[in-house]
Structure 1
Amino acid sequence: MCPDVKFSASLVLEMAKGTLLVVLFALTVVGQALTPSTYFTTVDKERLRTIFLSAEPYQPDNLQALHYSVLGLDLLGAGHVEPSKSCKVVQKGVDSDNVESLFYASSAARSLGSAHCKLSVGSQAKSVLEAAIVDGAPTRTIYQAVAALANLGLPIDAKKVSSALLDTLKVEDSPLSHGYAFYAASYLKGDLKTFFDLIEDVIAQADEIDEKFLQFESGLYTTAIVLDSSYKLAAAHKKEPTVLADKVTQFANYMLNRKHMDSLKNAATILSAIKTLTENKFHVPIAVTLASQVSVSDQYPTVQVRVSDLLGGSLGKVTVTADTARHIGDDAIVMSKKPFKASSLDSALYELDFLEAKPACGFYAITVSISPQTKDSRLIGTSGAEVRVKVTTKVAIENVELGVADKDQTTAPRMTRLQPPHKVVRTLEADHLQRIIMKFQLRNTAADSLMAAHQTFVRLTNQKTRREIIFVAEVDSSNTYTFDLDVGSREKEFGYLSGQYTMELIVGDAVIQNPLSWIFADVNLKFSDTLQSAPDRLDGYKAKPEIKHTFRVADKRPSTFISNVFTVMVLLPLLLLLVMWMKIGVNVSNFPLSLSAIGFHVGVAAIFGLYYLYWVQLNMFETLRYLGLIGIPTFLCGNRLLSSIAAKRLEVSRRGPKPGSYRVCCSVKANQ
């Protein structure tokens, strides 16, 4: 170890932050075992308490929020500051003619405790609740009615409730509907096997995610309702639900993964389900979490794990064993069947001196198993739990050599041996025909062996402009690093800015305790003169000239003679038509003198005139604009003209033609 090398906190943030975040993400997500690796901590419970208290001050017209608030506080065991005051709000807001209002009010009064809140409702409340329990009624309504009857101490007709639930489930077969049905059935006495047998079918509808989570399509609320109601129904039926232990753990993982919700309704529902999983008589998932920091070093050699239920409660005396400790890189087993020691600070904490196995630096997965000293068949997840840690070390830089060599290697490089953290006294000189060479090694001081770091850079900073450029130092099979800078081929990266540069070595890694930043030399770089005089054109941040769009240059027109000849050829058929009309004679007496006829012919003439202007002067866009203005009235007039001609023809055909006349406009006279 080299104690004089400068430690840099900013270095960790600047160079190793990205890698460290990725590694920590891998530690918490990738490859974890099925056993829950988190629980409701003290911080989580305080956050939930804040959510439940946020519903205050309670309002009589919002008994739903009051219900979930006092329910959540009751589940947390936090109690309520002013239960009598809350009870008055319940009494004021309850509507004895509404099933939902009776449910929320009676549930809130029950959570507040009979000592603080005795709810009085009208005599019609029983009739209203019993009337809601009918065939075809939603299972949610039936559940609320049954729960309200139970909360108020009123009798429940089990046969009627069972019939209504089974009839509704024939139509409403969603998991949430079954969850409400399970809740309602848990209040009944007698044979509950019909509903109990449905638990397995409903659980089978859940979707598995990444082989670790299990959820229903509707989301967190439905998942918590189904799981909570299934175990409440199983408790009423006094029989273990037909749910595999792995599926229970997957449901628990899903809800714990969503424990940071901020919805009042979801918070109370998920907390109720989690508490059921910690207190039921059939399945109690174990949470194995890493209680110590991820890094294991000489200063912190102990790995601590917390073994608890999902609410952080102690499981009593248990034996915790590290079955294996596996290096993630090469799968080497460094420890097996090593027992943890119970902590004197907390009955749920267990400790292990991980450095006793003398592990190499790197990342390790520790597989943990739990064996209760008093047999408890409820506990699930007692084997296969996994926590991940990393063993860190300190490094020292040694065997550092620095020199300048010719690019063509005609002469051997002049190498200088350096002693960290000292800097080279003289300034190095290098031009575009030379190379800067540096060699060094990193030593793991704990294992006294050479090692390679994940991030090893050489940074050159222009002392005048503070512009910097970073290069990667390459490592070979013998763990020797080499930095070889060909000055001439890297001119563009430096922006052709000759001058004095500071050279700095940066070393960082997730398993290195002392990331290093060492300024080891100054170097005067001289780039080629031909490009040095024009650095502005290489500045990638300088504003570029504005780009202006130009239309394509028009093609060169033909000569005037050719244009005139072409024009005469185009007009020649028209001239021939006029000559023929003059020779045989033209009858224009039938030309209708109407606005539509005149407008149509004027419009056609204007369109031909527009075509001529397009040929000699206008561009396409201007022509289309004018054509739109002319074409619309021409179309309307033409349509009107043709309609009038057709009408006139129909009228003439009915009366018969006049002798010696033609019904066609502009027709030619017959020779007499």
Structure 2
Amino acid sequence: MTRGTTLLVLFALTVVGQALTPTTVLTTVDQARLKAVFENARPFTDLASAHYSILGLKLLGAQIPNTHMVKIEGECCQYERVEDNCNYVKSAVDYKSPESLYYASAATKALGNCQLSNSNAQNTLQAAIKDGVDVPTLFFVVSALTNLGLPVNSNEVVNALTEALKTDDSILSGSMALHIAAQLSKETDVKVIFESIEDLVAQADEVGEKYLQFEGDLGLTSFFVVGAYRLAGQQNKAPLIMEDQAVKFANYLLSRKHVQSPKNAYDVAAGLSTLGNNKYHIPVCITRESSMTVSSAQSKVQVRVSNVMSGALGKLTVKADSAERKEDGAVVLSNSALTAVAKDNTLYELDFLKTKAGRGFYTIEFSVAADKPDSRLIGLSGAQVEVKVVTTVNVEEVELSLEDKDQSTPPRVTKVQYPQKTGSNLAGDHHQNLVMKFLLKDKADNSAMEAHQAFVRLTNKRTKQEVIFVAEADDDHVYKFELDIGASAKEHFNSLSGLYAMDLVVGDALIQNPFAWNVADLQLKFPEDSATSEEKPNLYQPREEIKHMFREPEVRPPATVSTAFTGLVLLPVLILLGLWIKLGVNIANFPLSLSAIGFHIGLGSILVLYYLFFVQLNMFDTLKYLAILGTLTFLAGNRLLGSIANKRKQLLRSRLR
């Protein structure tokens, strides 16, 4: 029995440790940004944008302006005109479109003092409920009738909706069905539609075990959440949504809170407003309000406990169940109560350093309990907040020494007190080693510590050349830096003798006072073979500009060679002409037409162009002229070949006759 109880307790602790809570919250800053998105939608360009802007402002509790400015382009200049929101909605509505009536009726209802023509709207809306009507049209019709305060025939709507869902069972249609059913009379049997909530949730995509969404569509996810809880409230039944699923829906909507369009902003506001105030599931958000850094000057960790809309949840008891150091898993506190510091019971604080927590990164896990039991609150445990405890570091036992390599003389040790500098310059040459020892101590408990970054920087005072070395700590956390002056002369210092400033640079994410301390000035002298190193160019000086040199063109061959080559190229032409004369070529059939003459002149011109390219023209000019000559030659040749083909056809016909 005891063993079984132990296993049960361990299982319960595991489940609590894995409890899912919202990852963030819609802060007042986020809400102000969304309000700006709605306000910037004016002047309205379409009825849908006006609908989302007006309803979004109402959801966020902002005042809805009665008018907005419209820029008018005149003949002479641009000017502004005041336009009434109600008049815009009335002028933009299409009384023949159920969708347009839906947007207009929702906007006028939110404005409060604006009325549409109910007679025109009622005729269109009631006529739309007929056999074969689809789910979206039915949603627009029922919503518009409800917004206008007109009667809805619930039985007729349910019958039409049942038939429409048989042909369209998409997630969007299912979500619209939830909204439609929520607007019908309570006596209407919508059990099948209510039970479809579970089936729709099963089709949602889970991402990283934290988010639940429908096809990555913000509008569809928000629309479903609002419809599910709206119908649940109308039926007075808890929706078929698990608590962790509700939290995952909230996480997804919160992850999209940086949207910029009026529609997306409305989707975020509508979904989170529903999850922030309903009868069944209200996720509890625990977010860090104070800085992540905890120090002796600011030892308290403040967290804000609210709903997803940053709203108060009543009087609560908030506890830090544990605080675990990431480095070694050490638990520094458990079951510590936080103190309320705000009248609205949303802000709580914990004096974290009372636990004597040392420097490091910590994960604090919180749990919440309502003083008055509220079954709606979910995600009451497992919320985690990360903080880091920083400390002030002291530098102690700092020693500088120059030691002879052959140890012929004892080292000259100079002790330095932080943040002072040695009174006189130290001088060292290539026969010596420079040694620096120091100890870093945590000021809070005077314990030795190591820093993530500890460097020794040597800077040439004349050239400003910097050389940086890493200082490493031993097992006792004592830092030691040793420099072989002779061996490092060429590699690190370019054999440049002179006066160097020696700095100790210490930094760490957990150190509150990182510093660069000028410890001493060193006169370094490098080996004799680098005595002329002062004359060597400084590696850090700008170099001379490199000017690109194009390769010079190759020298042309002598004129005799090119002339002989040209003669050899033309020799076949001369031979051809001689053979024609000897054989007696018959040119009587040469057609004396414009196309024939143009074609042959074009061919000759192209050959002449090639010659000019060889002796004078460049490639670009040659291509330009070749395009012109080639086009004319092609047209003339095409026409010449066509005329020759026609003559052959006529000759063939005459012979056949």
Q: Does the TM-score normalized on the shorter chain lie above 0.5?
A: yes
Query: Please, which of 16, 21, 27 is the counterpart of residue 41 of structure 1?
Result: 27
Match of 2:124 among 125, 128, 132: 128
* Distance (whole Å) between structure 2 residues aligned to residue 82 and residue 627 of structure 1: 72
**Aligned residue for 2:388?**
390
* CA shift for structure 1 position 251: 1.4
Give the CA deviation at 1:169.
4.2
Q: How many residues align?
A: 616
Question: Whole-Å Cα distance in 2 between the matches of residues 361 and 392 of structure 1?
Answer: 5
Give the counterpart letter for 2:208 in structure 1: D
Asked if 1 retains the 8 angstrom alpha-carbon contact of 2:38 and 2:53, the reply is yes
The 2-side partners of 1:74 and 1:562 are apart by 91
2:40 and 2:589 map into 1 onto residues whose CA distance is: 92
> Aligned to 2:340, which of 321, 343, 361?
343
Shift of 1:101: 5.8
Q: 1:158 corresponds to which residue?
A: 154
Evaluate the alpha carbon distance shift between residue 164 and residue 626 of structure 1 in structure 2; reply closer, same or farther with a 3 A threshold: same
Maintained 8 Å contact 1:403/1:416: yes
Question: Of 281, 284, 294, which aligns to 1:283?
Answer: 281
- Is residue 308 from structure 1 mapped to residue 306 from structure 2 by the alignment? yes
SS in 1 for 2:375: coil
Query: 1:401-550 to 2 correspondence within 5 Å?
Result: 401-404=399-402, 414-429=412-427, 436-463=434-461, 470-484=468-482, 489=488, 499-524=498-523, 528=530, 530=532, 532-535=534-537, 538-539=539-540, 541-542=542-543, 544-550=545-551
Query: What CA distance in whole angstroms lies between the structure 2 residues aligned with 1:633 and 1:160?
Result: 79
Q: Deviations over 1:464-517 (max 9, x none)?
A: 566656554344444333445566757687788765443332222221122223
Cα distance, 1:185 vs structure 2? 1.5
Q: What's the offset of the Cα at 1:389?
A: 1.3
Contact 1:135–1:163 (8 Å) recurs in 2? no
Distance in 1 between residues matched to 2:624 and 2:430, nearest whole Å: 63
Decide which of 140, 147, 169 is 2:143's aligned counterpart: 147
Q: What amino acid is the match of 2:254?
A: L
Which of 213, 216, 223 is residue 221 of structure 2 equivalent to?
Answer: 223
* Structure 1 residue 200 corresponds to structure 2 residue 202: no
Whole-Å separation in 1 of the counterparts to 2:581 and 2:102: 104
Deviation string, structure 1 residues 115-142 (Cα, Å, up to 9, x no partner): xx48474434322322233455564443
Q: Would you say the 8 A contact 1:193–1:237 is kept in 2?
A: no
- Partner residue in 1 for 2:327: 329
Q: Is the 8 A contact 1:319 1:339 kept in 2?
A: no
Between the aligned partners of 1:526 and 1:331, the Cα distance in structure 2 is 51
CA contact (8 A) 1:96 1:122 kept: no
Q: Is the 8 A contact 1:135 1:165 kept in 2?
A: no
TM-score, length of structure 2 as denominator length: 0.79
CA distance in 1, matches of 2:413, 2:625: 82
CA drift of 1:632 comes to 3.7
Q: Which moved more, 1:179-188 or 1:583-592?
A: 583-592
Structure 1 pair 172–517 and aligned structure 2 pair: CA distance change class (3 A): farther
The offset of 1:435, in angstroms, is: 5.9
Offset, 1:254: 2.0
Q: Distance in 1 between matches of 2:85 and 2:157?
A: 31
Deviation (angstroms), 1:363: 0.5
Query: Match of 1:383, as an amino acid?
Result: S
Partner of 1:213: 211
**Are 1:645 and 2:644 matched, yes or no?**
yes
**1:11 maps to which residue?**
none
Secondary structure, in 3 states, of the residue corresponding to 1:388? strand
Q: Give me the whole-angstrom Cα distance separating, in 1, the residues matched to 2:467 and 2:446.
A: 33
Seen in structure 2, the aligned counterparts of structure 1 residues 649 and 159 have a Cα distance that, compared at 3 Å, is same
The 5 A counterparts of 1:25-174 are 34-48=20-34, 68=52, 71-77=55-61, 90=86, 93-94=89-90, 97=95, 99=98, 102-104=101-103, 106-108=105-107, 110-111=109-110, 117=113, 119=115, 121-135=117-131, 137=133, 139-170=135-166, 173-174=169-170
Q: Which residue of 1 aligns with 2:247?
A: 249
Q: Distance in 2 between matches of 1:214 and 1:443?
A: 49
Change beyond 3 A, Cα 1:106–1:604? closer
TM-superposed deviation, 1:384: 1.9
Distance 1:418 1:163, change over 3 A: same
TM-score by length of 1: 0.77
Overall identity of the aligned pairs, in %: 47
Structure 1 residues 51 and 567: CA distance shift in structure 2, 3 A: closer
